[in-house]
């Protein structure tokens, strides 16, 4: 009996082929039109179809390498039907039920000899070359909820669909099977098994000379980046001249030459934020500008200090700027629309049900003076892909062979003479999504958050906060007219509370009405709500992008069919947050410039430090007072490390705010004092 074929499920075969072929094969099997199967003593499974087509699945070979007499050049329905029909055939022949699939396993048990035999020619050599350069891999071990082990490499995700079988490892790169990424994933599991065999998710370094646990001098490009950000902080966003843009470009190019992807993209985002301020754009936010600058300083500091995080993980060394993907199916988690003057920017959040990764597809339109600017429902009728409208894709699913994913998770679709992209409706059945993308329990996602490195040191993925949360009940819904925001209270199936909040947007002015109707049950019982899931220290907060009830609802793209009956109320405000108050002070200084703050600023800074001292935050208090002393010394004309002291305080406050954003212990495994 072939254990590899017995372990296949319709979902895993769909990953190796496509959903359409699987559905057709299952339908034919149910109708009794499947192939006649025979198995030789050598384990070759032979399927003969009514039209004379013969397919053979040999042991230790991938499904795409199986022989078939049909004229199809690649994967065909015959291979799929034989693979799916084998388990049924075994069950019919034996009185006992088919053997259960193997229990939880680690791909680290796969030997190099198996890799050499199961990979494409030259793939093992490519993998060895990549290992010499070094890379960081996020290992996801098999669990009872997610029995398929996976490895997230810088440019792709490898999933091991069948235990101990190299040929059934699926990569979402263009090669899909037998590529060098499979070997790198196996080596990552070996390293993870040696370091910590119990942890479900682990970041490991695959390299001949690992950089973990060692400190090194910052590179010239990082030193130039630090000097540039320090200069920006001293002068402030308000004084950043256009001439500064050239320095941003030069430093960015230097970071690219050294392969430091995350500092490079962070610097690009900071330069873009400065452009938004100069353009008086509503997309500029002082808090976002400070967060970007603080992140850059934190990454530069970790490089020069001993840390449990590999340097390559923090800097993105080895990450590909862009990856071309093979056949993929992505399910929409909804959309958002932003305004920027006379421009409208739509983002669609697309989830891969196999890997759990979320990509962002963006489309923008700029309207001339005097031209009527359409709102969300009108924009939904405009094309965003070659074959679909924004509305159809925002509520549907995309299948494409011409997609490219950039490092941060943005998705682009290549124009093609042959239609290789299609968009179809979806049912909103998010039960097929893997965890933690699908959240059945807020308690479980809280545990996951506490186990991650700080956000300022993690890979810079745009869709990281997107989740589809299962909803048990919705208890209240009200509109705060003063804040122009909808508030609701829901609970997950275990009864844990979830605050739902949605601000009014001029780009989609009726979105709040649509959301209120959906939450009130006008579209049926709410089963899932997708959106950005965060924790503000007082509980989980979800900003919805999609609601799944009897149908899929995307609030920003729909017109309400009636007027909701909303209670007008002021939302209960959490108690004053001393951490947020301190961060607001730092945002003010970064925006105006450290050398341009008012004469009363030191007094306000001291009051914030005293408030933090009263709650026992000694480390934060010390850093704020050091910054205040440096500010006073600068005013007196004495040389002081003003910008360095400022970022000491900003990094520590960012870490403290993130640490309190969980229900238990601090979420970072790092000692924040190292930053």
Residue 558, pLDDT > 50, answer yes
Is the pLDDT at 669 greater than 50? The verdict is no
If you write DSSP's letter for every residue of 625-645 in order, what string do you get? HHHHHHHHHHHTT----HHHH
Cα dihedral 185, 186, 187, 190, rounded to 10, equals 120
Using 50, 70 and 90 to split pLDDT, how confident is the model at 674? very low
Mean pLDDT of the region 136-157: 87
Q: How far apart (Å, rounded) are the C-alpha atoms in residues 651 and 47?
A: 63
Partner residues linked to 137 by β-bridges? 204
Residue 667 pLDDT: 35
Best mean pLDDT range from 57-61, 205-209, 604-608: 604-608
The CA radius of gyration of the chain, in Å to the nearest whole number, is 27
**pLDDT band of 668, cuts 50, 70, 90:** very low
- Spatial distance between the Cα atoms of 499 and 537, rounded to a whole number of angstroms: 12
Q: Which of 5-14, 340-349, 664-673 has the lowest mean pLDDT?
A: 664-673
Q: Is the pLDDT assigned to residue 307 strictly greater than 90?
A: no
Measured distance CA(183)–CA(128) in Å, rounded: 9
Which among 185, 187, 158, 188 has a CA at the least distance from the CA of 171? 158
The pLDDT assigned to 515 comes to: 96
Contact 244, 232 (CB under 8 A): yes
Per-residue pLDDT averaged across 419-446, rounded?
88
Average pLDDT over every residue of 428-451: 89
What is the per-residue pLDDT across 85-130, written as a single tens digit (0 to 9) for each? 888 888 777 755 555 555 689 999 999 888 988 888 888 899 998 8
Residue whose pair of structure tokens reads 């007196």 in the numeric block: 636
What are the pLDDT digits (tens) for 581-611? 999 999 999 999 999 999 899 999 999 999 9
Q: Angle at Cα 261 formed by Cα 535 and Cα 229, nearest 5°? A: 75
Q: What is the DSSP string of 351-403?
A: E-TTT--EEEEEEEEE--TTSPPP-HHHHTTSEEETTEEHHHHHTEEEEESSE
Out of 104-118, 210-224, 565-579, 645-659, pick the least confident. Answer: 565-579
Least confident range from 84-93, 180-189, 566-575, 579-588: namely: 566-575
**Spatial contact of 527 and 548, defined as CB atoms under 8 Å apart:** yes
> How much is the average pLDDT of 516-528?
95
Inform me whether the pLDDT recorded for 379 exceeds 60.
Answer: yes
Listed ranges 197-201, 371-375, 670-674; the one with the highest mean pLDDT: 371-375
* H helical segments located in 437-552: 442-450, 511-519
How would residue 470 be classed by pLDDT, with cut points 50, 70 and 90?
A: very high
Do the Cβ atoms of 329 and 353 come closer than 8 Å? Answer: yes
pLDDT the model gives residue 166:
87
pLDDT at 571: 52
- Min mean pLDDT across 48-62, 75-89, 557-571 is at 557-571
Q: Tell me if 538 sits within 8 A of 469, measured CB to CB.
A: no
* pLDDT 10s digits, 380-412: 999 886 668 999 999 999 888 788 888 888 998
Q: How confident is the model at residue 483 (pLDDT cuts 50, 70, 90)?
A: confident
Highest mean pLDDT among 49-63, 509-523, 568-582: 509-523
Q: Where are the beta strands (DSSP E) in 145-268?
A: 150-152, 157-160, 169-171, 201-206
Q: pLDDT at position 395, please?
A: 95
Q: How far apart are CA 130 and CA 318, in angstroms?
A: 8
pLDDT exceeds 70 at position 251: yes
The backbone torsions φ and ψ at residue 202, rounded to the nearest 5 degrees and listed phi first, read -150, 135
Q: What is the pLDDT of residue 631?
A: 92
Q: Name the band, by pLDDT with cuts 50, 70 and 90, for residue 673.
A: very low
Is pLDDT above 50 for 544? yes
Q: What is the pLDDT of residue 355?
A: 84
Average pLDDT over residues 322-342: 89
Chain mean pLDDT for the chain: 87
- Work out the pLDDT band at 31, boundaries 50, 70, 90: confident
**pLDDT value of residue 146:** 81
In order of 24, 25, 27, 28, 51, the CA distances from 31 in angstroms are 11, 10, 6, 5, 16
Is residue 216 within 8 Å of residue 304, measured between CB atoms?
Answer: yes
Measured CA to CA, the distance from residue 283 to residue 576 in angstroms comes to 26
Q: Is the pLDDT of residue 573 over 60?
A: no
For 624-635, the pLDDT digits (tens) are 999 999 999 988
**Cβ-contact 136, 192 below 8 angstroms:** no
What's the whole-number mean pLDDT along residues 70-92?
Answer: 85
Q: List, for residues 226-248, the tens digit of each pLDDT value.
A: 999 999 999 999 998 877 888 99
With 80 as the cut, is the pLDDT of residue 430 above it?
Answer: yes
Q: Are 157 and 355 in contact (CB under 8 A)?
A: yes
């Amino acid at each position: 009996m072939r254990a590899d074929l017995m372990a296949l499920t319709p979902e895993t075969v769909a990953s190796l082929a496509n959903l359409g072929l699987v559905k057709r094969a299952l339908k034919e099997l149910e109708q009794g039109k499947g192939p006649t199967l025979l198995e030789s003593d050598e384990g070759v499974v032979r399927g003969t179809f009514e039209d004379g087509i013969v397919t053979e699945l040999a042991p230790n070979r991938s499904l795409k390498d199986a022989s078939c007499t049909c004229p199809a050049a690649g994967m065909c329905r015959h291979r799929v039907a034989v693979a799916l029909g084998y388990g049924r055939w075994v069950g019919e022949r034996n009185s006992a039920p088919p053997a259960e699939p193997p229990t939880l396993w680690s791909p680290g048990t796969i030997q190099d000899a198996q890799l050499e035999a199961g990979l494409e020619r030259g793939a093992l050599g490519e993998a060895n070359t990549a290992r010499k350069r070094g890379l960081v891999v996020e290992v996801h071990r098999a669990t009872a909820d997610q029995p398929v082990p996976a490895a997230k490499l810088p440019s792709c995700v490898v999933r091991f669909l069948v235990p101990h079988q190299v040929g059934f490892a699926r990569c979402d790169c263009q090669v899909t099977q037998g590529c060098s990424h499979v070997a790198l994933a196996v080596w990552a599991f070996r390293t993870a098994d040696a370091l910590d065999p119990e942890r479900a998710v682990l970041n490991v370094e695959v390299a001949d000379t690992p950089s973990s646990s060692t400190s090194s001098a910052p590179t010239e490009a990082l030193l130039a980046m630090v000097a540039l950000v320090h200069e920006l902080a001293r002068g402030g966003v308000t004084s950043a001249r256009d001439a500064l843009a050239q320095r941003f470009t030069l430093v960015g190019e230097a970071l690219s030459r050294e392969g430091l992807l995350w500092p490079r993209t962070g610097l690009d985002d900071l330069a873009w934020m400065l452009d938004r301020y100069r353009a008086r754009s509503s997309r500029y936010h002082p808090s976002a500008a400070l967060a970007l600058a603080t992140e850059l300083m934190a990454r530069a500091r970790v490089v020069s200090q001993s840390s449990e995080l590999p340097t390559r993980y923090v800097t993105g060394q080895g990450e590909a700027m862009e990856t071309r993907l093979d056949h993929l199916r992505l399910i929409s988690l909804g959309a958002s629309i932003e305004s920027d003057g006379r421009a409208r920017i739509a983002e669609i959040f697309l989830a891969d049900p196999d890997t759990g990764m979320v990509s962002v597809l963006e489309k923008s339109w700029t309207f001339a003076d005097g031209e009527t600017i359409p709102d969300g429902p009108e924009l939904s009728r405009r094309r965003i892909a070659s074959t679909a409208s924004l509305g159809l894709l925002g509520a549907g699913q995309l299948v494409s062979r011409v997609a490219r994913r950039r490092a941060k998770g943005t998705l682009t679709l290549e124009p093609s003479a042959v239609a290789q992209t299609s968009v179809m409706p979806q049912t909103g059945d998010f039960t097929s999504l893997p965890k933690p993308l699908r959240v059945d329990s807020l308690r479980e996602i809280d545990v996951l958050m506490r186990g991650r490195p700080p956000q300022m040191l993690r890979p810079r993925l745009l869709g990281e906060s997107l989740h589809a949360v299962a909803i048990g009940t919705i208890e209240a819904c009200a509109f705060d007219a003063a804040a122009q925001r909808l508030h609701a209270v829901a609970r997950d199936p275990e009864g844990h509370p979830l605050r739902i909040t949605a601000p009014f947007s001029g780009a989609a002015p009726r979105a709040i009405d649509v959301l209120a109707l959906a939450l009130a049950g006008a579209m049926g019982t709410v089963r899932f709500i997708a959106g950005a899931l965060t924790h503000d220290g007082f509980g989980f907060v979800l900003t919805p992008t999609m609601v799944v009830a009897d149908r899929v609802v995307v609030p920003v793209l729909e017109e309400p069919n009636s007027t909701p009956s909303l209670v007008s109320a002021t939302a209960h405000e959490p108690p004053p947050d001393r951490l947020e108050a301190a961060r607001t002070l730092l945002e003010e200084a970064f925006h105006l410039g450290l050398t341009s703050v008012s004469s009363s600023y030191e007094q306000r800074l001291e009051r914030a430090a005293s408030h933090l001292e009263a709650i026992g935050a000694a480390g934060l208090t010390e850093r704020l007072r050091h910054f205040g002393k440096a500010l006073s010394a600068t005013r007196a004309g004495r040389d002081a490390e003003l910008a360095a002291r400022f970022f000491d305080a900003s990094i520590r406050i960012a870490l403290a705010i993130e640490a309190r954003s969980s229900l238990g212990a601090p979420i970072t495994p790092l000692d924040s004092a190292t930053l």
